[in-house]
Structure 1
Amino acid sequence: MVRAQLQIQIFPRKYGFFPYIWLIYLILPLINLNGQSGFKLILGYVMVALFAVTYRQLYWVSGRAFSYWLGLQMLLIAVLCIFYSPYNLYMGFFTTNFIGWYTDHKRFNRAYAGFAILLVSLVVWVILDLQGTEGLFLLPFTLIMLVLPFGMRSLNRRQYLEKELDQANEVIKELVKREERMRIARDLHDTLGHTLSLITLKSQLVEKLVTKDAARAQAEAREIQRTSRAALRQVRELVSEMRAISVVEELAEVGEMLRTADITLEVGGDFSLEGVSDLTQNILSLCIKEAVTNIVKHSEASICRIGIGKTLGEVQITIEDNGIGLHCPEGGTRGHQEGNGMKGMAERLSLIDGSLSLNSEEGGGTKLVVVVPMVVKERKGGEAT
């Protein structure tokens, strides 16, 4: 715990190795200090070190502090260029990168104007200071440094807009899910509320009549059966009208989940499932999602394989991984962890007369096989066959 608290991040992790690569170019001003000695040499090393500090701080600070550190960086470039080596002008590439980070238009213009004036002044001084055409060599790099802030600002703006778009899409997805839940709740209330209330009342009536009028009690019990079957038909109609998720759509979703978890997805077979009802595809999609979620959470696998086979009578989907299986490293099994998920899959599949089987070997991965009939018929009274 103490060691974790003492760790200091040099650069934010979200930038990866990119900031460290730029540090290589700080070797150039150190090389340009050759030929110096005494106090001037020491002061040169101090200013290069301070420049490195400004480079780090600009990755962390914002607002006015960002402008202050950027101004100090420009000042160090001017001093190192005038009093040490004119070739320290190349350090301006660091500054051009950070100027492009300004999102506010006015602040960007102020920072760019200050940098442009400084850069042009230094170039003129260098050209006058150096003999012949040696100073003209800096002109192409000067033009690049003058244009680069606009390119960096455009790139950062695009990344910012893409991030906002991703956030907006997530909000839209949540709103769609919320609206769908509310619609389902309204439909369930309107469709089944009256029917279930009627079943409750008739059940209470049967309880009272069973000892007084057995014949009427039997008649009421038969009426309860008819009402419950009607309710089952209503549930099936409601489920069929819900927005169905196809197997192809679900594969795209779980593929993204597996990529995030660094698990390779291998697929095989015809996933278009032409002729398979929306209800069946929706339930198969939910089973795939549940199985892949278990793989990501518990399997420690590196590969997930999903295959599909279709015959005249049934559809079979196989989901397997190369993980640790249902056996935990410390002994025992993961059955308690995945029990609810498997139970939920079995309950969904029972609505369409489907079945599932699960096989696993310790260290040999897990294989889940889901089988559903191609056609779901209706029995008399609304029960599935």
Structure 2
Amino acid sequence: MVVSSNSDLPVVAKIIILMIFLVAFYFALWYKDWRLHLATLTGLFSVTIIGIYEGSIMLFFGFTFADLIGRAQVKWHIASAMLAIALMFIIVLWVETGELFKIDDPIILPIMMIQLVFPVLIYYIEKAKNLKVELATVNTQLVKQDERQRIARDLHDTIGHTLTMIKLKTELTTKLVDKDPSKVKDELQDILATTRAALKQVRELVSDMNFISLESELSHCEKLLQTADIASKITNKCPKILLSSVEETMLSLCVREATTNIIKHSQAKSCHVEIDYIDHVYELNIIDDGIGLTNQGLGNGISSMKERMTILQGTATIDNLSNTGTLVSFKLPFQHYRKEPIK
């Protein structure tokens, strides 16, 4: 349309200006730095020349760059380009009407206003998109961090517990090599079985098969305490209440962690587990006669127990007894009357 028009501009000049327009559009389309700014100013200059010779109707081509200006990374690039748009309209209309700020065609004014507002609108749309991408990235990182913490906690509560048992049995086997070689074979079989159990725990952890029976865990912990020469006793005063799978699993892991702490740090000779149900609260207490919490910090295990019980809207407390030893208490408000399969 521009090349075939009857304006005073030579055809060669029209072709050159159109080439400048297209090259400027190409750079403005693919870049967001100083090249976008330079291409925008160059493109608006070519539109201005075309508008002077072909009429103010050519100012519609300003939308081509008004749409791209808002993607600039520097605000003053946007501001200067908006100023260039305003100058483009003023110059073309001045040449066309012979008077400054005179508009013959009423549609020109809204076109100019829209082209001036467009860059700001695009800028905030792009900013919102970038913010959304950044938030999605942060959320992904948080999810990954939570997953790492969960895996670390589960490894600590499951594999660490089993490895402690393997360590104790290995130490016992070392002592029996000279004193009672006939029992070494049995202990080695127990170590082998425990190792297989550890491998199974790894598979379950990887497969996210997290359900752990509280009854089986109490039995397992009782055997572990016996292996460590710690006398154990379990007193269950609780009626037959069915905990949900999640509640039972969380309590089992807490019992596992508490038992591991007793073996590692308490120097206890006996341990008593009491289970009761008082005023709609399921309560599980683990009492030992060791050295208590003296000079013992709140390590990862204690924090893990408290975190698990908080998830269940319950509580986990660890206190020194008046004479000697430690009381670990788990309290869980009872809310479910049937087991729900863990997802």
- Alignment partners' CA distance in 2, 1:151 and 1:172: 31
Matched, 1:97 2:67: yes
Q: 1:78 aligns with which of 48, 51, 55?
A: 48
Of 45, 51, 75, the residue aligned with 2:15 is 45
Q: How much has 1:144 moved relative to structure 2?
A: 1.7
Q: CA deviation at 1:80?
A: 0.7
Q: Is the 8 A contact 1:191 1:234 kept in 2?
A: no
CA contact (8 A) 1:199 1:228 kept: no
Q: Distance in 2 between matches of 1:234 and 1:33?
A: 81
Work out whether residues 163 and 198 of structure 2, in 8 Å CA contact, stay in contact via their aligned partners in 1: no
Q: Unaligned stretches of 5+ in structure 1? A: 1-30, 247-274, 280-373, 377-385
1:126/1:137 Cα in 2 relative to 1: closer, same or farther (>3 Å)? farther
Q: 1:164, CA displacement in angstroms?
A: 1.2
- Measured after TM superposition, the shift of residue 202 of structure 1 is 4.8
The residue identity in structure 2 corresponding to 1:111 is A
> Offset of 1:219 from its aligned partner?
3.9
Q: 1:278 to 1:242 in 2, by over 3 A?
A: farther
1:177 and 2:147 are equivalent in the alignment? yes
Conserved? CA contact 2:56–2:96, under 8 Å: yes
- Please state whether the residue corresponding to 2:31 is helix, strand or coil: coil
Write the distance in 2 (CA, Å) between the matches of 1:143 and 1:245: 62
Selected match of 2:3 from 29, 33, 36 = 33
Q: CA deviation at 1:95?
A: 1.5
Q: CA deviation at 1:200?
A: 3.3
* Deviation at residue 205 of structure 1 after TM alignment: 6.3
The 2-side partners of 1:245 and 1:105 are apart by: 53
Aligned with 1:159 (options 126, 129, 135)? 129
How does 1:231-246 map onto structure 2 within 5 Å?
A: none
Provide the secondary structure at the position in 1 that maps to 2:73: coil
Opposite residue 162 of structure 1, the aligned amino acid is K
Q: Is the 8 A contact 2:24 2:42 kept in 1?
A: yes
- 1:69 is displaced (CA, Å) by 1.3
In structure 2, C-alpha distance between the alignment counterparts of 1:57 and 1:133, rounded to whole Å: 32
* 1:216-273 CA-partner distances (Å, limit 9, x unpaired): 4454444555666677788889999999699xxxxxxxxxxxxxxxxxxxxxxxxxxx
Pairwise mapping of residues 1-385 of structure 1 onto structure 2 (< 5 A)? 31-36=1-6, 40-128=10-98, 135-187=105-157, 190-202=160-172, 208=177, 216-223=180-187, 277=245
The worse-fitting range, judged by mean Cα deviation, of 45-54 and 216-225 is: 216-225
Paired residues of 1:101 and 1:152 also in contact (CA < 8 A): yes
Deviation at 1:68, TM superposition (A): 1.4
Distance 1:133 1:167, change over 3 A: closer
> What amino acid is aligned across from residue 60 of structure 2 in structure 1?
Y
> Partner of 2:314 in structure 1?
none
Q: Tell me if the contact between 1:126 and 1:135 (Cα under 8 Å) persists in the aligned partners.
A: no
Kept in 1, the 8 Å contact 2:43–2:65? The answer is yes
CA RMSD of aligned residues (A): 4.4
- How far apart are the structure 1 equivalents of 2:97 and 2:196? 89
Q: Distance in 2 between matches of 1:375 and 1:165?
A: 34
Tell me how far apart the structure 2 counterparts of residues 105 and 198 of structure 1 sit (CA, whole Å). 67
Q: For the pair shown, which has the larger CA radius of gyration, 1 or 2?
A: 2
Give the deviation of 1:191 after TM superposition. Answer: 1.7
Q: How far off its partner does 1:72 sit?
A: 0.7
Which fold has the larger relative contact order, with Cα–Cα distance below 8 Å and residues 6 or more apart in sequence? 2
- Identical residues among aligned pairs (%): 14
Count matched residues: 218
Q: Does the C-alpha gap of structure 1 residues 94 and 170 become closer, same or farther in structure 2, counting only changes over 3 Å?
A: same
Q: 1:126 to 1:179 in 2, by over 3 A?
A: farther
Letter in 2 for 1:160: N
Alignment gaps of 5+ in structure 2:
211-242, 248-339
The one-letter code matched in structure 2 to 1:144 is I
